[in-house]
Amino acid sequence: MFKFTRLIGLFRALVLILPAALAACNTTAAPPPPTAAAPAVDPVTAERYAAVNTDKYPVPGVDPTTLKPRNVRQLVDYATSERPGTIVVDTNARFIYLVQEGGKALRYGVGVGKEGLEFKGTATVNHKAQWPRWTPTPDMIRREPERYRKWAGGMDGGTDNPLGARALYLFKDGKDTLYRIHGTNEPETIGEAVSSGCIRMMNQDVIDLYSRVPAGSKVVVL
Query: Which residues belong to the active site?
Result: 182, 198
CA atoms within 13 A on the CB side of 10: 6
d(Cα 112, Cα 201) in Å, to the nearest integer? 9
Strand 104-109 with 193-195, pairing: unpaired
Q: Which amino acid is at 58?
A: P
Contact 207, 52 (CB under 8 A): yes
Strands lying side by side in the sheet with 166-172: 74-77, 104-109, 95-99, 87-90, 218-221, 121-130, 166-172, 175-184, 199-202
Find the largest Cα–Cα distance for the chain. 120
Give the end-to-end CA distance of the chain in Å, rounded to a whole number. 106
CA distances 122 to 2, 3, 151, 181, Å, are 111, 109, 29, 14
